[in-house]
Amino acid sequence: MIEVAMIAIAILVITLSLGVPLPYCFGAALMVMTLIGGVTMKGMMLWGFGQLANPVLLAIPLFVLAGTIMSQSGIAASLLRFINVFIGHIRGGLGVVAAVSCAVIGAISGSGLTGIAAIGPLLIPEMEKRGYPREYATALIANSSILGLLIPPSVTMIVYGWVTDTSILACFLATLGPGLMIMVSFSVINLIMSRKFNLVLDEKPSFSELSSEVAKRGFNAFPALLMPIIILGGIYGGIMTPTEAAAVSVIYAIPVGFLIYKGLKWDNFFHAGKEAATAVGAIMLMILFSMILSQMFVYESIPQQLVNGIFSITENKILLLILINILLFLVGMVVNDITAIILIAPLLLPLMNAIGVSPVQFAAIMGVNTAMGGVTPPYASILYLGARIGNVKVTKVIPPAMKLILFGYVPVVFLTSLWPDLSLFLPRLFGYDVSP
C-alpha cells in the first residue's frame, strides 16, 4: 500500500508542476488512492466536511481579514512611523525598521502576507530613495513578512495544533523564540549589507526632538499598538479562544480603520472582505481534500510503515532531524505552508514520538520550515507578492532573497531542530506540557 501512497504523492507533485489548482492536485492524489489503491472514498466527504466545521479553523479567515483591513487602513503606516523614530537614523536603520515592523505586525496578523502587503508599498519606495537597491528592499521585506507566521497568532500553528491535537497556545509560543531570532539575524545581515550601499541618512535627532516625536507618533500609533495587546492578552489572559480573538481583532480593526486612521473606505473594505474570503475559500477547499488524503494514509497505516521504513535506514536522532529538515525544505519549495503541515505533520508525528521529540518542538520545526517555504522558489507565494508590490522582476528578487534565506533563515531552522530549548523555553515558562 505504501507504493500506492508514493504514486499518489508523485501525481500530486506532477499536477502541481503542471499548474493545476492546489485543491485539484489533492483530488488527483485521492483518485490514485481510490482507483489504484482501492481505498474507499465512501464517507470521506462526510468526514472531511465535518472537519471543516471545526470553529478552530474559523480563526484563519478572520485573522486574514484583520490583516487585510490593517494593510488597507493605514494602521501599518502609523506603526512604521513609530518604529522609525527609534532606529531610522542609524546606518542601515531603515532595513532594521522593515524587519522589526514585520515582527510587530506579526503580533496582529496570523498570516505571512500581511507584512509585505501592509508595509511593502510604503517602505520599498522609501528605502530606494535612501539608496537601498529596490530588489534588495523587496527581498528583505518579503522575507521579514514571514514573521507573521512565527510571531503569534499564526494560522499555521492553528492548523498544526488542530491536526495533531496539540495545544494551539503552546504552539504559538514555540515559534516565538525562533521568530525573534530570525528578526535579529535579518537585522544584523542588513546592517552588514548596508555598508556596501550608498545610503542617505536622517540627521541624528536631538534628545528633545526625539522625545517629542516619540510622543507624537506614539500617540498616533497607540490604537494600532493596542491591537496585539487585545489579541494576545485576550488569548493568554483567559478572556477568549484564538478564534474569538481573531473575530475581536476584525471587529476592532473596522472602526479604527474607518474612523481613526481613515484609510479604510467602503470600497476597499468590501474589497478586503472579498479578498479574504476568496483566499480562505481556496485554502479551505485544499484543506478539505488534503485532510481526506491524510485520512486515507492513516486508514492504510502509512505513518507506521513510514516510521518502520525510516528506522530501517537509521535511528540516529540528529541525522533524522537533519533529514527531516531537508525533506521539509524540498516540500516547502513546491507547496504552501498550511498544506505542508496537513500532509506532513500526521505522517511524521509518530516518528517524532519514537525519537523523543516533543510535539510542541515539532510544531516549531514545522512552523519555521513551512514559513520559509513562502519565500523559496519555485513556488514562493510571499516572495512573488513582494515582487508584484515592489514592481521588480521575480528573477531579480531571488538572489538577495536567497542570501537572506541562507544566512538568516537556514541557521535558525537547524537550531530549532537541534536545540529544543529554543522552542520549548517559552511554552514551559507559561506552564504548557512540552513532554515528548
Q: Does 15 bind another protein (CB under 8 A)?
A: yes
Cell, residue 341: 503541515
- List the interface residues with Na ion, window 378-407 (CB under 5 A): 379-380
Residues 229-248 that bind Na ion (CB under 5 A): none
376 binds, among Na ion, another protein, none (CB under 5 to 8 A by kind): Na ion
**Residues 46 to 105: which contact another protein by CB under 8 A?**
46-47, 49-56, 58, 61-62, 65
The stretch among 3-11, 151-159, 224-232, 384-392 that binds Na ion (CB under 5 A) is 151-159
Does residue 167 interact with another protein by CB under 8 A? yes
Contacts 24+ apart (CB under 8 A), 87-92: 88/202, 89/201, 89/202, 89/203, 89/204, 89/205, 90/201, 91/191, 91/194, 91/195, 91/199, 91/201, 92/190, 92/191, 92/193, 92/194, 92/195, 92/197, 92/199
Asked if residue 9 binds another protein (CB under 8 A), the reply is no
Q: How far is the CB of 235 from another protein (least distance, A)?
A: 7
Q: Which residue has the cell 515558562?
A: 429
- In the window 265-324, what residues touch another protein (CB under 8 A)? 269-274, 276-286, 289, 295, 298-299, 301
Residues between 98 and 127 that touch Na ion (CB under 5 A): 106
Q: Is 383 in the site for another protein (CB under 8 A)?
A: no
Three-point CA angle 33, 374, 424, nearest 5°: 90
Q: Does 433 bind another protein (CB under 8 A)?
A: yes
Q: By C-beta, is 46 or 206 nearer to another protein?
A: 46
Residues from 302 through 341 that contact Na ion (CB under 5 A):
332-333
Residues 6+ apart with CB under 8 A from 234: 240, 244, 245, 248
Block residue for cell numbers 482507483: 35
**Is 218 one of the binding residues for another protein (CB under 8 A)?**
no
CA distance 428 to 364: 14
The CA distance from 367 to 110, in Å, is 12
The item of Na ion, another protein, none sharing an interface with residue 23, based on CB under 5 to 8 Å by kind, is another protein
Grid cell locating 254? 473596522
Instruction: Indicate the DSSP class of residue 262.
Output: -
Q: Is 27 in the site for another protein (CB under 8 A)?
A: yes
Query: How far, in Å, CA of 215 to CA of 67, rounded?
Result: 26
Binding residues for Na ion, how many (CB under 5 A)?
A: 10
Which residues, including other chains, have CB under 8 Å from residue 271's CB and lie 6 or more apart? 72
Tally the residues of the chain.
Answer: 436
Which range in 200-208, 255-263, 331-339, 396-404 contacts another protein by CB under 8 A? 331-339
127-166 residues near another protein, rule: CB under 8 A:
161-162, 165
Using CB under 8 A as the binding rule, whether residue 250 contacts another protein is answered as: yes
The residues that touch Na ion, with contacts defined as CB under 5 A, are 106, 148, 151, 154, 332-333, 373, 376, 379-380
